Structure 1
């Protein structure tokens, strides 16, 4: 009897997940629900918590749960995901400790000018301290963002 072992190609999974995406880093001392409430009001988004997307990382015999909020644009095939980058003393992306939240935009609708406009609008949200466009190729732990 032959046992067939299937191995997940993590590099291909990461490449497929991040195809046609933009990743924004946000620094803010606000809670995720406070910040998303303001973003929803000012940018006319509709972020809501999706408990099914919550990311759990286990470190040092402890589990850390990172909330993910989402919204889908009704007029095109673009999905938005808003991740907490920290939970207690742990980080979803440890290489980005100065970033509190990550906003991932999936879909091929947005062009560079649209993203620049979104970044400019996001900078006007009162609870936002810093906004930067991140290059996913430079992120070491991007597998942590895949749900």
Structure 2
């Protein structure tokens, strides 16, 4: 009897429909959020999602899932860990864009994007933003005195890019 072997090839091409800005700053996340709002005109608020849906009904998700960006880390030699990353959001339904300010360090001490730990925060912009508006936003963030560096990053070259998908 001969042995038949099947090989399943998977090629998941992550759709990275966002712009990513890396930010290095000495500020706590809520203070950085305040200054980004002040300098850029955004209205970032705490949490990944609103507690209510578009009909005004309470969402049936755990509070942690609405408040944090949560990643599950499992290692062979250590017990599994849930990492909770602070996140702030600004949604504009009129123009259909979303901004998310995320900490690169979880409450538990893990990194969202471990290969670039020199950035303390990431501003993720979903949907379209034109180059002129993006440059103006980055300049506004750089104008915050406690921001050491703000620059656009290419998410396609990151090994941990899947951590930015939600």
Q: Same fold (TM over 0.5)?
A: yes
Q: 2:105 aligns with which of 72, 83, 86?
A: 86
Structure 1 unaligned blocks of 5 or more: 1-8
Q: Distance in 1 between matches of 2:115 and 2:103?
A: 14
Moved over 4 A (4+): none
Q: Choose which of 115, 118, 135 in structure 2 pairs with 1:98.
A: 118
May I ask how many residue pairs the two structures share in their alignment?
Answer: 134
Residue of structure 2 equivalent to 1:6:
none
State the partner residue of 1:124. 143
Q: CA deviation at 1:140?
A: 0.9
Structure 1 residue 55 displacement after superposition: 1.7
Alignment partner of 1:141 is 2:160: yes
Q: Secondary structure at the match of 2:159?
A: coil
Residue 88 of structure 2 corresponds to 69
Alignment gaps of 5+ in structure 2: 1-9, 48-63
Please give the secondary structure, in 2, of the residue aligned with 1:26: strand
Residues 75 and 127 from structure 1, CA distance in 2 versus in 1: closer, same or farther, beyond 3 angstroms? farther
Alpha-carbon distance, 1:99 to partner: 0.4
Higher helix share: 1
CA contact (8 A) 1:55 1:68 kept: no
Partner of 1:41: 38
Provide the rounded CA distance (Å) in 2 between the counterparts of 1:57 and 1:63: 5
Does structure 2 conserve the Cα–Cα contact (< 8 Å) formed by 1:25 and 1:101? Answer: yes
Q: Deviations over 1:68-116 (max 9, x none)?
A: 21111254011001111012542100011100000011112x1112111
Q: Are the equivalent residues in 2 in contact too, given 1:57–1:65 (CA < 8 A)? A: no
CA RMSD of aligned residues (A): 1.9
- CA positional deviation for 1:143: 0.7
